A and B are shown apart, each in its own frame.
Chain A
Amino acid sequence: MTSFDVNVHYVTRVEGHGNIRVRVRDGQLEECRWEIPEAPRFFEAMIRGRAYHEAPPITSRICGICSIGHTLASIQGIENAIGFVPSEQTLLLRTLLKHGETVQSHILHACYLAAPDLVGAPSVVPLATSHREVVLRAVRLHRLANEWCDLIGGRTTHPIRAVVGGWTRLPTVEELRGLRQRISEALPDVEATVELFRALPFPAFERETEYLALRKPDEYAWYGGDIASTDGDVTPLPQYRSKVKEFIVPHSTAKRARGNRNSYAVGALARVNVNYDMLRPLAREAAEALGIRPVTCNPYLNTAAQVVEVAHVMEDSLDVIDRLLERGLREEGYAVQARPGTGVGGVEVPRGTLYHEYTVDAEGRITDANLIIPTGQNHQNIEDDLRALVPTLEGKSEEEITLAMEMLVRAYDPCISCSTHLLEVEFV
């Protein structure tokens, strides 16, 4: 292999911007860094002193793509801190809202951002002409997911109705029935999407690592649960700090984390690896078609795992809606009696496990907050993957090396914004 540098200057962000610096001399990897120069935004500081019920709408603004996940993790953390136990109806509706976000985010990443790589296009824009039916199918699923989140959450980005204590407004029975019918009618589009990705050539690259995801005894976990590792250990959510060890490096404003090893991964592939036995039938078929079984260590297949999860949450949502309709919707309000305390929320958002921990005082003010973002947990794993990937690119062309690295980072779906045009490679 010749010598080359990969130097990305200010291209994208992870929940903002990510840079890659790789330096190879005479085939020797001298430097490999995944840098996050994202503008620091200080949410953990801004939230201090605010009333507890303000945490969800403020922290929702951390991420436009998974604002529903942040809202729900924040609500869960606050409710655990103040000692409030939500009703079954509230939890079912939260799951339904969460599922809508999963479809929205995964379709966006898999179909709009990752798929163009797999067919050799620079973006989805030319595909809108060359593969119009495929793009329109993705748009149909994306529209369904957004209208679904609008319906349940009041707004798909920065939801309005989901609050500490419950819901400010419920969907009507007719709306739920209508949503159920639309999801049911969209299943053929999901099956066609699985077929599409089955036919696309994912790069072959494997690196064994630790995968973490929430796990529950009776379902594929999205909202709460224990922290399960593919290394076999299980950690109760309130003890998350003993498992998720945060650290800071100078070339990154995003904090990183490690578990048992130098790094671990979270996200769709981690969840499918940890919760494979909990997948619903349609998703199990999709996983088999896409060649995913536990433990799959090809990070490029995270995109395929997202397609598996779309199948899972679409099917699961039919069941959630049936349970809501069976019970009948009840106006429960969202009044709470708050006591001071500390609580942890853990939610599986599109890119992995999201932790929100809060301490609330006797006045109902937040005195401390700790937020651990999925992409932050993946940073070290991405860097370790890049380190392992570079030697396998021996003999490839400059374009192929660039694409392989771009696609690797993109497969983690680190953020909508860093998913394209991530690298500018300088070959010397």
Chain B
Amino acid sequence: MKPKVAIFDFGCCEGCQLQLVNLEEALLDLVGLVDVRQWREAMSEHADDYEIALVEGSITRESEIPRLEAIRRQAKVLVALGACAHTGGINAMKNHMPMERALDIVYGDKAGWFDTIPARPLSAYVPVDAAVPGCPVDRQELVEVVKALLMGVAPVLPTYPVCVECKMAENICVFDLGLTCMGPVTRAGCRARCPSNGNRCLGCRGLVPEPNANAHKEVLAEHGRTVEDILAEYRMFVSSAEVAQ
């Protein structure tokens, strides 16, 4: 019997679900291996007897918490798909300012009409069995994680920083180009995609386990960055709890 899969989203840009669509012909193969029970992005068919839930987006409103809990109760395996679900992602940038201020800037005197809470990853509310990091998720890694799940194996994520992959790609160090980079503290697995395209790592995959943040801060400071600059770098993608550390 084919595993029953469902795909859900909360507050996000839906770019991670799009990477499923972007698997192109491989998606057609994948759809042959699993029974997709609901996927609002792509289908009108709908059933609630799924076993594996791929969940994108972060929780940004009270009303979303019971919905996530219901998904958790049904799913045998719940996978956080992408940075927003995994770490809170870019949505969590708003957590660094008072919510009333954010509401005021965007909605002005109509702010009272809208409800919002600090953006949190799924794991702040329910146990998460596996995660596909990144903003957006890397298509190759996504396929690897899905394959592992279909074989009943826990997917394994790299526990070393992006710098390792960046060195293997033979890139010039981003710091030597005069830019700041989150590579030294960010979990690898993206094949250092941004530095390999001439840009810097923004830390979208979240921190590597036990990051050497102090050494990173020293490197940033050596390149003339202030404490506020360094915090700003972290606040883009690293969860607010981790920034506090």
Contact = CB atoms under 8 A, between A and B. Distances in A.
Interface string B192-231: 0110011100100000000000000000000000000000
A11 B94 contact: no
Contact of A416 (B14, B46, B105, B106): B14
Number of chain A interface residues as a range: 35 or more
A39 B44 contact: no
B164 interface: no
Interface in B1-57: 9-19, 21-22, 24-25, 28, 31, 36, 40-46
A123 B232 CA distance: 43
A42 B42 CA distance: 27
A160 B194 contact: yes
A207 interface: no
A123 B44 contact: yes
Contact of A146 (B22, B44, B197): B22
A42 B13 contact: no
Contacts of A167: 198
A155 B197 contact: yes
A169 B14 contact: no
Given A139-B25, A155-B197, A169-B198, A46 B93 contact: yes
Contact of B113 (A142, A163, A250): A250
B135 A158 contact: yes
Nearest to B190: A155
Contact of A123 (B11, B45, B114): B45
Contacts of B110: 248, 250
Contact of B14 (A42, A44, A64, A125): A64
B206 to A, nearest CB: 15
A257 B231 CA distance: 36
A40 B36 CA distance: 29
Given A160-B197, A250-B113, A421-B40, A143 B17 contact: no
A58 interface: yes
A64 B136 contact: yes
B225 to A, nearest CB: 11
A58 B28 contact: no
Given A64-B16, A122-B44, A125-B31, A57 B202 contact: yes
Contacts of A48: 105
Interface in A40-87: 40-42, 44-46, 48-51, 54, 57-58, 61-65, 67
B105 A420 contact: no
Contact of A420 (B43, B114, B202): B43
B73 interface: no
Nearest to B104: A45
Interface in B85-133: 89-91, 93-94, 97, 101-103, 105-107, 110, 113-114, 116
A357 to B, nearest CB: 14
Nearest to A61: B90
B64 interface: yes
B22 to A, nearest CB: 5
Contacts of A154: 193-194, 197-199
B236 interface: yes
A308 B93 CA distance: 39
Nearest to B13: A64
A41 B91 contact: yes
A168 interface: yes
B61 interface: yes
A143 B110 CA distance: 43
B106 A42 contact: yes
Given A12-B40, A112-B42, A248 B193 contact: no
A143 B24 contact: yes
A296 B189 CA distance: 49
Nearest to B83: A61
Interface string A133-144: 001100100110
B186 interface: no
A143 B26 CA distance: 11
Contacts of A50: 232
A64 B11 CA distance: 12
Interface in A230-255: 248, 250, 253
B116 A160 contact: no
Interface string B59-93: 01100100100000000000000000000011101
Contacts of B10: 39
Nearest to A146: B22
A139 B28 contact: yes
Interface in B166-207: 193-194, 197-199, 202
**Which of A15, A42, A136, A160 has the most chain B CB atoms closer than 10 A to its own CB?**
A42
A417 B41 contact: yes
Contacts of A416: 14, 17-18, 21, 41
Contact of A45 (B9, B94, B202): B94
Contacts of B197: 154-155, 160-161, 168-169
B198 A161 contact: yes
A41 B10 CA distance: 11
A65 B15 contact: yes
Given A42-B116, A146-B24, A417-B41, A157 B107 contact: no
B183 to A, nearest CB: 14
B236 A58 contact: yes
A42 B94 contact: yes
B115 to A, nearest CB: 9
A156 interface: yes
Contact of A41 (B40, B44, B60, B113): B60
18 contacts: A40-B106, A41-B11, A41-B60, A41-B94, A45-B101, A50-B232, A57-B202, A124-B42, A124-B43, A125-B43, A128-B31, A143-B24, A155-B136, A156-B22, A158-B135, A417-B9, A417-B17, A419-B41
Given A39-B61, A125-B36, 11 more contacts: A39-B116, A46-B97, A113-B42, A136-B25, A142-B24, A146-B24, A154-B198, A157-B19, A167-B198, A417-B9, A420-B40
8 smallest beta-carbon distances between A and B, as pairs: A64-B15, A168-B198, A154-B197, A169-B198, A123-B43, A39-B11, A45-B105, A64-B13
